[in-house]
Amino acid sequence: MLTGSVHETSLDLLYRYILVHGLRAGDALPPLSDLAAEFGVSVASMREAVRSLEASGVLTIRHGVGTFLQGYDFRPILRNLSFSTLFDDRMAEHVLQTREALETGGVAFAVNRLTTDELDVLEATLSDMQSPETSLAAEYRFHSLLMKCLDNPFLAGLFRYCWLAHQQFVGDVPSEDRRPHYAVHVELQEALRNRDRLGAEASLARYFDLLSGELRVTS
What's the pLDDT score for residue 131? 86
How far is 139 from 144, CA to CA, in rounded Å?
A: 9
Q: What CATH number should be reported for the domain holding residue 17?
A: 1.10.10.10
| In contact, 111 and 195? CB cutoff 8 Å | yes
Same-domain status, 116 and 212: yes
The domain containing residue 37 runs over which residues?
4-69
Q: What CATH number should be reported for the domain holding residue 98?
A: 1.20.120.530
Same-domain status, 150 and 180: yes
How far is 77 from 84, CA to CA, in rounded Å?
A: 10
Tally of domains in the chain:
2
pLDDT at 34 over 60: yes
Give 113-150 pLDDT, tens digit per residue: 999 999 999 999 999 998 888 888 999 999 999 999 99
Same-domain status, 19 and 61: yes
C-alpha 40 chain-centroid distance: 37
Same-domain status, 87 and 131: yes
Same-domain status, 59 and 92: no
pTM for the structure as a whole: 0.68
Give 61-107 pLDDT, tens digit per residue: 888 899 998 876 666 666 666 566 556 678 888 889 999 999 999 99
Same-domain status, 65 and 80: no
Q: Which of 133, 128, 160 is nearest to 146 (CA)?
A: 160
Same-domain status, 83 and 189: yes
Give 166-210 pLDDT, tens digit per residue: 887 776 556 567 889 999 999 999 999 999 999 999 999 999 999
Amino acid at 10: S
Same-domain status, 169 and 188: yes
Same-domain status, 95 and 137: yes
With pLDDT > 90 as the criterion, what percentage of the chain qualifies? Answer: 42
pLDDT at 2 over 90: no
Q: Which helix (H) or strand (E) holds 102?
A: helix 91-113
Same-domain status, 127 and 50: no
In this prediction, residue 3 has a pLDDT band, given cuts at 50, 70 and 90, of very low
Same-domain status, 24 and 81: no
What's the pLDDT score for residue 138? 92
Same-domain status, 177 and 161: yes
Of 54, 69, 84, which marks where a domain is finished?
A: 69
Of 27, 47, 69, which marks where a domain is finished?
A: 69
Of 13, 44, 69, which marks where a domain is finished?
A: 69
